[in-house]
């Protein structure tokens, strides 16, 4: 397992060379969400990277509406792309543009958003074919899933990368959300945001040329799991070293890669300037709560759903909207009534009435009909027909 | 003069709402089954309702598109084939997907046309070309794309183009927001969005602090841009809001249908008519309106910066469930109102009709002073009333 990271200062190359950093990501303001390099940097730094034995990767990770895309494509014409080992892209437009216009350039495909099933990843891999240098996987994939995917990717000869250390992007918009609140003229505006009714405080928010970005309050930190990730077959661990004090931390990380030492991990944690988390590495249960979003007592999926109670005159009548199209209801039929509170009432229909309270021979789809109120049944109760005579 | 037709695509949160929006004139609806969509808390459709909804819509020449635009896990993909086979059997007109694994599965198992969800953030010509290679028939473009940009994408790809014209807007690039995932333990891209962008935040700028709803977007309203949708060859305009009320879907559908039909016939939409329709759109609950990115990049005025919805003068008092010509209307009450209140009936295509809630009776024929949600009431018959018509009243 190798390390990839970002290069923001040319002077860092000497340090990176000393530690086992194999790839550096170069981001320019025009192409990269948070990049600050100039065109001159993009055209002069790659050779220096190669000289240091480190592969330069061009970051083109912005999402672009058509007009923005055209500006990026124009900018790209001035970049010496043949000096780069690969280009890193997420926008499908950038993917297609590189595939069709720069036929020698390798692609590092950012699949960090979604792509939580292997079929999706596999389809991207097939689409890019030999042009694909690696896939950058989502950090929302839990360990067990990641392990499975890495096995499959390795079997296909596809390299992989995940974020092992760094800020976790939560939100990305092209709109300028901070500048309306800020009188300064800076190109980059930063703030810490704390939402109401939430225990989470101080989300880093940044606005720049490309819009506004919000990050998690805790950074991703997987250095405890280096050995495990390596055994699982991960090709690259990305470390975002763009924080104060990285010069002190990097040698220790380099040491970890040579010989894993859990005490050293603890020392790195102490030096790291922000709060850290393993995110979803251990488990991802972000759909467990879904079942609680709905009242399961009034689900319609189980049984012969007929309709809903829409009016209750206690101890007298209840009105029912007949919704189902494939059945009829006659006096003498049996019903199961499920209330929103979870009560279940089983009854036999004695009489069906219309809105003039005259008897009906039968009720069918689209009818509003009435019958004697059943104690405990309220509006929004579901009516199911029982399959018995 | 006849212009090419722009499809009006409306949300159907459940079977009732489908019938409402179809009756008020939409050309197509989109809806979700019990799984695979992005609205976990919505009623959604069980299979039998979905089949009935398709029949109801098709009987009226209205198309039905089914959302499968959640970012699915492997285990979800295993459950998908059975649902896809069902969807093909009931002849839905398209499925809406954002995940490549879902797209591949749909193509392997069915011939159902594929629409690319806005959730996939397709924003430019090159992206359109790539999705065309993948076999999609229609691109539902990201809400960051202008009408003019959308037109370029259409010309370059030859694909059908759908743009949002009305409703709530995500502030983030769709599919690129995971705030709920990390802060609420709810995957926003699997239907669990907790709408953290609508919260108030305290912003610390080092040397000053501001409280702001800085991530909350105003709602999109594109009624004034209807002519541009036509002139740029946009195939379909979409209304957001599967979770919204019957009154919302009915009112919005009716207003946009009027605008589109008028433009089709006359190739113009007068400022007076736009103002009138905007007035109608302001009668449903909303968070101020913006044109979003339809004609120019959304600016600071597109930020709502307030809590929740504006108070509106009108509320949804109920839906007609039965009519007895010359006798009475039977209405299911959705919000309280009083006997003698002035109510407005919204016919499917005619002008609104004002009438007095007198007499007001319950189903037993007893006079009631106040109608409550969860009851049926009899109201005086109004000429032209039809089943499923909506009735609104002044807010209390």
> Lowest mean pLDDT: which of A312-321, B300-309, B316-325?
B300-309
Task: In whole angstroms, give the CA distance from residue A111 to residue A115.
Answer: 6
Q: Are residues A116 and A191 in the same domain?
A: no
Q: Do residues B239 and B343 share a domain?
A: no
pLDDT-based confidence at residue B38 (cuts at 50, 70, 90): low
In a domain, A332, yes or no: yes
- A17 shares a domain with A66: yes
Write out pLDDT tens, residues B139-158: 999 999 999 999 999 999 99
Residue of A nearest to B198 (CA): A195
What is the chain B residue with the closest CA to A280? B182
pLDDT number for residue B206? 85
- Chain B residue numbers with beta carbons less than 8 Å from the beta carbon of A71 are none
At A329-372, the pLDDT tens digits run 999 999 999 999 999 999 999 999 999 999 999 999 989 999 99
Share of residues in chain A with pLDDT > 90 (%) = 85
* Inter-chain touch B124–A69, beta carbons under 8 Å: yes
Domain match, A329 and A263 both:
no
Banded pLDDT at A36 (limits 50, 70, 90)? very high
Measured between its terminal Cα atoms, the distance across chain A in Å is: 69
Q: Which residue has the higher pLDDT, A19 or A88?
A: A88
CA distance B311 to A1: 58
Kind of pairing, strands A132-137 and A159-166?
parallel
Chain A residues with CB inside 8 Å of B300's CB? Answer: 176, 179-180
User: Which range marks the domain in which residue A204 is found?
Assistant: 169-217
Q: Which residue has the higher pLDDT, B88 or A323?
A: B88
A124 contacts A109 by C-beta, under 8 angstroms: yes
Question: Which has the closest alpha carbon to B10: B65, B52, B51, B84?
Answer: B65
Q: Which of A68, A74, A92, A197 to mutate to test the interface with B (most CBs of B within 10 A)?
A: A92
Residue A323: list chain B partners with CB under 8 A.
Answer: 15, 49
Q: Does a structural domain hold residue B246?
A: yes
Residue after which a domain boundary falls, among B302, B337, B365: B302
Asked if B361 reaches chain A (Cβ–Cβ under 8 Å), the answer is: no
- Give the burial class of A102: count Cβ atoms within 10 A of its Cβ; 0-12 exposed, 13-18 middle, 19 or more buried: middle
Q: Does B338 touch chain A (CB under 8 A)?
A: no
In chain A, the percentage of residues whose pLDDT exceeds 70 is 97
Please tell me the total count of domains within chain B: 2
In angstroms, the separation between the Cα of residue A381 and the nearest Cα of chain B is 11
Interface-testing mutation among A62, A152, A175, A384, with chain B (most B C-beta atoms within 10 A): A175
Taking only the tens place, the pLDDT of each residue in B153-209 is 999 999 999 999 999 999 999 989 999 889 888 888 887 888 889 999 999 998 899
Predicted local confidence at residue B39, as pLDDT? 61
Mean pLDDT value across residues B267-295: 95
Residues B168 and B293 occupy one common structural domain: yes
* Whole-number pLDDT of residue A85: 98
- Tokens 């001159």 belong to residue: A40
Give the span between the Cα atoms of B39 and B188, in whole angstroms.
9
Q: Which of chain A's residues have a Cβ under 8 Å away from the Cβ of B214?
A: 177-178, 180-181, 193
- On whether residue B362 sits in a domain, the answer given is yes
Decide which of B244, B271, B302 is a domain's last residue: B302
Backbone angles phi, psi at A313, to 5 degrees: -110, 100
Residues of chain A found within 8 Å of residue B215, distances taken between Cβ atoms: 171, 173, 177, 214
Nearest by CB to residue B177, choosing from A65, A171, A287, is: A171
As a whole number, mean pLDDT of residues B13-36 equals 94
Query: Chain A window 274-313: which residues touch B at a Cβ cutoff of 8 Å?
Result: 279-280, 285-290, 293-294, 300-301, 305, 310-313
Angle, alpha carbons A170-A173-A178 (nearest 5°): 95
CB B200 within 8 A of CB B233: no
Question: Which of B300, B363, B374 is facing A180, going by the closest CB pair?
Answer: B300
Tell me what the mean pLDDT of segment B287-315 comes to: 87
Cα B265 to Cα B5: distance, rounded to the nearest angstrom: 10
CATH of residue B120: 3.20.20.70
In this predicted structure, the answer to whether residue A197 has a pLDDT above a threshold of 80 is no
Kindly list the residues from chain A whose CB atom is less than 8 angstroms away from the CB atom of residue B198. Answer: none
Residues A268 and A355 in one domain: no
**What are A263-307's pLDDT values in tens digits?**
999 999 999 999 999 999 999 888 777 666 666 666 776 788 999
Interface membership of B275 toward A (CB under 8 Å):
no
Q: What is the DSSP string of A137-178?
A: E-TTS-HHHHHHHHHHHHHTT-EEEEEEEE--EEEEESS--S
Answer yes or no: are the C-beta atoms of B181 and B170 closer than 8 Å. Answer: no
Question: What Cα–Cα distance (Å) separates residue B379 from each residue in A137, B33, B324, B328, B365?
Answer: 60, 35, 10, 6, 11
- The verdict on a CB contact (< 8 Å) between A301 and B34 is yes
In a domain, A287, yes or no: no
Between chains, do B183 and A198 touch, taking CB under 8 Å as contact? yes
Minimal-distance CA residue of chain B relative to A72: B124
Within a domain: A331: yes
Structure tokens at A23: 């790839």
How many angstroms separate the CA of residue B266 from the nearest CA in chain A? 31
**Assigned domain for A154 exists:** yes
- Of the residues A76, A93, A126, A309, the best mutation for testing chain B's interface (the one with the most B CB atoms within 10 Å of its CB) is A93
**Residue B5: band (very low, low, confident or very high) from pLDDT cuts 50, 70, 90:** confident
Q: pLDDT-based confidence at B84, cuts 50/70/90?
A: very high
A&B contacts, CB < 8 Å: 277
Q: Does B375 touch chain A (CB under 8 A)?
A: yes
**Interface probe, candidates B123, B371, B378, chain A, greatest A C-beta count within 10 A:** B123
Q: Quick one: B159 and B36 in the same domain?
A: yes
- pLDDT-derived band at B1 (thresholds 50, 70, 90) equals very low
A269 and A343 in a common domain: no
Q: What is the mean pLDDT of chain B?
A: 93
Same domain membership, residue A201 and residue A322: no
Share of chain B above pLDDT 90, in %: 84
> Could you report the per-residue pLDDT of A116-154, keeping only the tens digit for each?
999 999 999 999 999 999 999 999 999 999 999 999 999
CB atoms within 10 A of CB A40: 9
Which of B267, B302, B337 represents a domain boundary (last residue)? B302
Query: How sure is the predictor about B41, in pLDDT bands with cuts at 50, 70 and 90?
Result: low
Best mutation target, B363, B375, B377, to test chain A (most A CBs within 10 A): B363
- Is residue B3's pLDDT more than 90? no
Claim to verify: residue A102 and residue A246 sit in the same structural domain: yes
**Domain of residue B294, residue span:** 7-302
Residues A34 and A162 in one domain: yes
My answer on whether A13 and A137 are in the same domain is yes
Q: How many domains does chain A have?
A: 3
Same domain? B121 vs B164 = yes
Among chain A residues, the shortest Cα distance to B296 is held by A67
User: Is the CB of B201 less than 8 angstroms away from the CB of A194?
Assistant: yes
pLDDT at residue B40, as a whole number: 61
**Cβ-defined contact of B199 to A189 (cutoff 8 Å):** no
Same domain, B20 and B158: yes
Tell if the CB–CB gap between A379 and B375 is shorter than 8 Å. Answer: yes
| CA atoms within 13 Å, Cβ hemisphere of B99 | 31
Mutation for testing the A interface, residue in B70, B329, B376, B381 having most A CBs under 10 Å:
B376
Q: Is residue A252 located within the same domain as residue A360?
A: no
Q: Are residues A185 and A268 in the same domain?
A: no
- Mean pLDDT rounded to a whole number for chain A: 94
Q: Residue B42: pLDDT above 90? A: no
Q: Which residues contact A292 (CB under 8 A, 6 or more apart)?
A: none
- Which residues of chain A make contact with B146, given a CB cutoff of 8 A? 65, 67
Look at B183 and A200 and tell me if their CB atoms are within 8 Å: yes
What is the least distance, in Å, from the CA of A180 to any CA of chain B? 6
| B190: contact with A, CB 8 A cutoff | yes
The answer to whether residue A205 neighbours chain B at the CB level (below 8 Å) is: yes
Distance CA A116, CA A128 (A): 18
Within-domain flag for A333? yes
Contacts of B77 in chain A (CB under 8 A): 117, 119
Return the bridge partners of A277, or none. A220
Which residues of B fall within a CB distance of 8 Å from A380? Answer: 374
Task: Please tell me if residue A95 touches chain B, with a CB cutoff of 8 Å.
Answer: yes
Least CB–CB distance from A193: residue in B49, B187, B201: B201
Identify all chain A residues contacting B52, using CB atoms and an 8 Å cutoff: 324-325
In a domain, residue A322? The reply is yes
Query: In the prediction, which pLDDT does B207 show?
Result: 87
Distance from C-alpha of A239 to C-alpha of A242, rounded to nearest angstrom:
9
């Amino acid at each position: 397992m190798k390390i990839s990271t970002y290069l923001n200062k040319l002077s860092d190359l000497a340090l990176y060379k000393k530690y086992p950093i194999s790839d550096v990501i170069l981001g320019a303001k025009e192409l990269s969400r948070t990049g600050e390099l100039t065109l001159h940097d993009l055209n002069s730094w790659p050779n220096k990277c190669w000289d240091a034995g480190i592969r330069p990767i061009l970051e083109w990770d912005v999402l672009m509406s058509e007009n923005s895309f055209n500006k990026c494509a124009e900018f790209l014409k001035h970049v010496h792309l043949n000096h780069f080992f690969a280009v890193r892209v997420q926008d499908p437009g950038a993917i297609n543009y590189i595939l069709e216009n720069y036929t020698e350039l390798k692609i590092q495909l950012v699949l960090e958003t979604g792509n939580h099933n292997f079929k999706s990843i596999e389809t991207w891999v097939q689409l890019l074919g030999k042009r694909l240098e690696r896939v950058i996987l989502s950090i929302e994939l839990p360990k067990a899933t990641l392990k499975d995917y890495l096995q499959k990717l390795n079997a296909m000869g596809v390299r992989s990368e995940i974020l092992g250390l760094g800020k976790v992007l939560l939100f990305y918009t092209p709109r300028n959300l901070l500048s309306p609140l800020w009188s300064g003229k800076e190109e980059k505006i930063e703030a810490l945001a704390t939402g109401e009714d939430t225990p989470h405080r101080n989300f880093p928010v940044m606005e720049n040329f490309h819009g506004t970005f919000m990050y998690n309050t805790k950074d991703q930190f997987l250095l405890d799991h280096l050995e495990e990730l390596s055994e699982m077959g991960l090709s690259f661990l990305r470390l975002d070293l763009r924080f104060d004090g990285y010069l002190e931390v990097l040698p220790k990380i380099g040491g970890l890669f040579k010989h894993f030492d859990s005490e050293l991990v603890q020392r790195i944690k102490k030096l790291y300037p922000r709060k850290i988390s393993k995110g979803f590495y251990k488990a991802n249960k972000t759909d467990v709560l879904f079942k609680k979003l709905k009242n399961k007592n009034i689900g319609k999926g189980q049984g012969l759903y007929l309709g809903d109670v829409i009016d209750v005159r206690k101890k007298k009548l209840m009105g029912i909207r007949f919704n189902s199209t494939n059945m009829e209801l006659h006096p003498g039929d049996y019903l199961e009534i499920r209330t929103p509170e979870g009560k279940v009432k089983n009854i036999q229909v004695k009489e069906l009435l219309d809105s003039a309270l005259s008897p009906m021979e039968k009720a069918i789809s689209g009818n509003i009909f009435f019958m004697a109120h059943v104690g405990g049944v309220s509006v929004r109760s579901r009516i199911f027909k029982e399959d018995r005579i | 003069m006849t212009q090419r037709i722009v499809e009006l695509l409306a949300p159907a949160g459940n079977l009732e709402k489908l019938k409402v929006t179809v009756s008020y004139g939409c050309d197509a609806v989109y809806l979700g089954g019990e799984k695979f969509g992005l609205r976990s808390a919505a009623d959604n459709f069980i299979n039998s309702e979905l089949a009935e909804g398709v029949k109801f819509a098709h009987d009226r020449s209205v198309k039905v598109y089914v959302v499968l635009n959640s970012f699915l896990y492997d285990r979800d993909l295993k459950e998908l084939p059975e649902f896809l086979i069902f969807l093909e059997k009931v002849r839905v007109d398209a499925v809406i997907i954002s995940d490549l694994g879902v797209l591949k599965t749909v193509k392997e198992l069915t011939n159902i046309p594929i629409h690319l969800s806005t959730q996939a953030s397709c924003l430019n010509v090159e992206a359109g070309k790539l999705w065309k290679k993948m076999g999609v028939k229609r691109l539902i473009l990201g809400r960051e794309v202008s009408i003019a940009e959308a037109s370029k994408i259409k010309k370059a790809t030859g694909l059908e183009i759908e743009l949002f014209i009305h409703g709530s807007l995500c502030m983030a690039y769709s599919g690129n927001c995971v705030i709920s995932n990390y802060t609420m333990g709810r995957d926003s891209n699997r239907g669990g969005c907790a709408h953290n962008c609508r919260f108030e935040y305290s912003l610390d700028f080092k040397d000053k602090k501001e409280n702001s709803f800085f991530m909350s977007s105003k709602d999109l309203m594109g009624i004034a841009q209807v002519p541009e949708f036509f002139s740029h060859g946009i195939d379909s305009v979409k209304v957001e809001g599967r979770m919204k009320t019957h009154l919302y879907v009915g009112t919005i559908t009716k207003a946009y249908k009027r605008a589109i039909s008028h433009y089709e016939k006359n190739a113009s939409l007068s400022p007076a008519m736009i103002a009138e329709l905007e007035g109608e759109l302001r009668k449903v609950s909303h968070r101020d309106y913006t044109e979003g990115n339809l004609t120019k990049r959304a600016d600071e005025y597109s930020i709502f910066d307030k809590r929740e919805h504006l108070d509106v003068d009108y509320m949804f008092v109920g839906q007609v469930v039965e009519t007895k010509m010359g006798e009475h209307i039977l209405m299911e009450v959705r919000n309280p109102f009083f006997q003698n209140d002035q109510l407005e009936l919204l016919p499917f295509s005619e002008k609104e009709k004002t009438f007095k809630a007198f007499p007001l009776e319950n189903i037993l024929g007893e006079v009631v002073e106040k109608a409550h949600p969860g009851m049926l009431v009899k109201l005086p018959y109004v000429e032209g009333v039809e089943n499923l018509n909506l009735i609104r009243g002044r807010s209390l």
